[in-house]
Amino acid sequence: MTAADDKMTREERLAAKLRENLRRRKAQTREMRESDDTGLSKDDTRR
């Protein structure tokens, strides 16, 4: 085995970063959706 075999390939690193980014964005969307439910109603936001 070489040191290169132990390292992740570029594609694997990119795929891992994309999955991490997607999870983070989904969590942010969930938080925003939950805060919208407890925050102002749609009628209150129009001015």
Model confidence pLDDT, tens digit, residues 5-30? 557 799 999 999 999 999 999 999 99
* Phi, psi (degrees; rounded to nearest 5) at 9: -75, 165
Q: What amino acid is encoded at 17 in this protein?
A: K
Cα separation, 6 vs 42, in Å, equals: 53
| Composition of the chain by helix, strand, coil, percent to 5 | 80, 0, 20
Sorted by sequence, the CB contacts under 8 Å of residue 16 that are 6+ apart come out as 8
pLDDT at 46: 55
Question: What is the model's pLDDT at position 38?
Answer: 72
